[in-house]
Amino acid sequence: MASTSHSASRRSLRPHTTPNVRENARRQRERLLARQTELEALAGPIHEATDKLSKLEATVASRAQAPLKKIERLEQTRDRRIKKIQEQYAAKIAEIQQEMEAGTETLTPQERERESSLLREYAEAIVTFSRSASASELAPLLGVSTREAKTLIMQAKADLGVADAAESAAPASDDKQDDKQTVPAAS
């Protein structure tokens, strides 16, 4: 006896009718979901291993970067200290330069007296040398040209002449005062 197409499709489970098509599609989805769940379960250890590997790589990378970061921090600290030291020394140098400029402009009375006596000795030495030798012989000694040596000799003579005139004028005025003092005492 011949079977109907409905019963034949049920027996063979071939998608001949709409209910079979829906049932086959549902089963196919279930099989896909089951396979996907199975694959996810199988992939779980892979994901865990990948996570652990990435953590390990991050740890190794951070360990490799640690010396570089430390070097960078040390260089920054060094640069700050150098800048600070440079600023301190620049301030000290400026202070010393100001003191030096102020110190050279003002001489103490003892230093002025000493300077004038040394200049007088220098002038006397030049005049004494010029009496026995010429300006051309004095020039190499002083490290100047002959013309400058002549100028120095004339200047030294002039300085000594002014100084001698001032000294001779001072004793003469002292003598006059002594004369005036002796006159009243004598009468």
pLDDT averaged per 10 residues, the chain (length 187):
61 61 87 93 90 91 87 95 95 89 72 88 89 87 90 89 56 49 44
Distance CA 112, CA 163 (A): 16
Q: Report DSSP letters for 25-77, one per residue.
A: HHHHHHHHHHHHHHHHHHHHHHHHHHHHHHHHHHHHHHHHHHHHHHHHHHHHH
Sequence-separated contacts (24+) of 121-124 with Cβ below 8 Å: 122/156, 123/155, 123/156, 123/157, 123/159, 123/160, 124/156, 124/160
User: Buried b / exposed e across 16-43, counting CB within 10 Å, b at 16+?
Assistant: eeeebeeeeeeeeeeeeeeeeeeeeeee
Q: What share of the chain is helix, strand, coil (3-state, %, to 5)?
A: 90, 0, 10
Answer whether 148's CB lies under 8 Å from 139's CB: yes
Rounded to two decimals, the pTM is 0.35
For the purposes of burial, counting CB atoms within 10 Å of the CB of 91, is it exposed (0-12), middle (13-18) or buried (19 or more)? exposed
Question: What confidence score (pLDDT) does residue 132 get?
Answer: 87
Distance CA 84, CA 81 (A): 5
How do residues 107-132 score in pLDDT, each as one tens digit?
778 888 898 899 899 989 988 988 88
Token pair recorded at residue 31: 């099989």
Angstrom CA distances, 119 to 40, 122, 156, 175, stand at: 106, 5, 9, 28
